[in-house]
Amino acid sequence: MIKLIRLSGSKVIVLILDCLFIYVSYLLAYNLKFQGNVPQEQWQSFFQYAPWLGLFTAVTYYFFDLYDFAGRQKPTKWLFNLIGAHVVFVAELIVLNYWLGTFSLPRTVVIIAFLTQVLLTFSLRLLLFSIQIRGFGKKRVLLVMNTEASSLTTLRKVLSQGQIWFCIQRVLIVTGEEREQMPSLWEDIDVLMFGPDIADQVKTELIQAAGQRNIEVLLIPDFYELYLMKAEMQQIDDMMVYSLMPPELTLWERSVKRCIDIAISSLLLILASPLMLLMWLIIPMTSPGKALFTQERVGLHGREFKVLKFRSMVDNAEQHTGPVLAGASDARITRFGQFIRATRLDELPQLINVLRGEMSLVGPRPERAYFIEQFKQEMPHYTYRLMVKPGLTGLAQVMANYTTNPSDKLRYDMMYIKNYSPIMDLKIIVQTIGVVLRRDQSKGMETTEAAAPVDVKQYLQDAELEIAAVSE
């Protein structure tokens, strides 16, 4: 993993600059609003809430991962997170205004400061991005893959989405567990990247060789490797062993999580009740049928429950087809349904499921039994996600897309369970705002006709990529 800013002290410098920018933005906004002659009472008002500006900036930016400079993030993600963070920031100022009731907050000042702060903080992160790109340059990659469709998907993602960071120098196609060492394999290589489903013996050999050459390794973790996260070290005589427990929450964690669920979902239901009432009226007017839609889903420990949603499709959409995943251009979705699906408004009634205790605010998304049975045949680890309550939103929802394949979503779900904390839940909740703003993340599955098997070697030749070797 790349880390541009390795020391916590460097992140503190960025945080200080962010706080400086917020004060500069508000001072500039006041001077523009009052044309350089700011009334004394406005200055007094500003000094009353000024200490909160820096605090709100630091805390809100943290929850939107704006101090996470590790990895390879595109500037567009930072921009969406910044906009989401400032929407929350303004909401916090409004709540503070009503709570204290001792200062005035001119709307023009808020708007000017909002735009200025987004511009300044985004420019700072663009500078960091530029330093990262120019300082490290494109990494020359040795990609290890097999002939399965999942490896081809990985290759396409690297070629299309990773071209800023990577240049595939050569490809090693592995079809067995053993491979002959080739000295020329490592020439001009900066990164060793594994596709999915590579044999452990091949991984071990190549990772060892990469370590000897000080080469970065990128891999898609197998599920058992995720299972090892936070394993407890124990000792039998002088032998070290790992204790692996099922990925579930402790009693204390479940209790804290339930308290947070009740508090936040109750507040959100109160705030959203006028909007939900409006939806209750509009949906039947735009499409015949009831506004509320219920569907059997599988929850904690495999127990089924009825999930509540506002109807976004035509009434009885699956009457003739049976269970079918929604497509990106699904004709069953109504025009108003497209809007409420993109903005996630169709899921507001699930706050009632949260209050009932059938769901949590954060967790793996609940799925239907029909699809779970299919996923379990392909991924035996899929049942691990049923060790916690399903969620209204989750790590897979803020990090991935609707079209992300089930195995990758499962990796995020297991990562969430293994790393659960109340702070993590709060971060996912606030980052869901960014998901709503990035409406492309809620698009349905792309519906394409079944494609013919792809000749991987021919595909690589067409892409003008060097095939290092093929292990038979």
Which DSSP category does 384 fall into? Answer: G
Return the domain boundaries, the chain: 8-135, 138-220+453-471, 251-437
**pLDDT of the residue at 358:** 94
Question: 3-class DSSP state for residue 238?
Answer: coil
Contact 324, 235 (CB under 8 A): no
Calculate the average pLDDT of the chain: 81
Q: What is the pLDDT of residue 180?
A: 55
Highest mean pLDDT among 14-18, 74-78, 93-97, 208-212: 14-18
Residue 4 pLDDT: 40
Residue 56: pLDDT band (50, 70, 90) is very high
DSSP state of 305: E
How much is the average pLDDT of 417-429?
Answer: 88
Number of neighbouring beta carbons within 10 Å of residue 176: 12
pLDDT of residue 210: 86
Question: What kind of fold does domain 138-220+453-471 have according to CATH?
Answer: Rossmann fold (3.40.50)
CB 368 within 8 A of CB 336: no
Backbone angles phi, psi at 288, to 5 degrees: -60, 135
Kind and range of the H or E run holding 177: none
CA–CA distances in Å: residue 441 to residues 96, 343, 361: 32, 10, 19
* pLDDT tens-digit map of 81-91: 888 888 889 88
What pLDDT score was predicted for residue 6? 43
At 224, which amino acid appears?
Y
51 close to 23: Cβ distance less than 8 angstroms: no
Q: What is the pTM of this model?
A: 0.75
Q: Are strands 216-218 and 239-243 parallel, antiparallel or unpaired?
A: unpaired
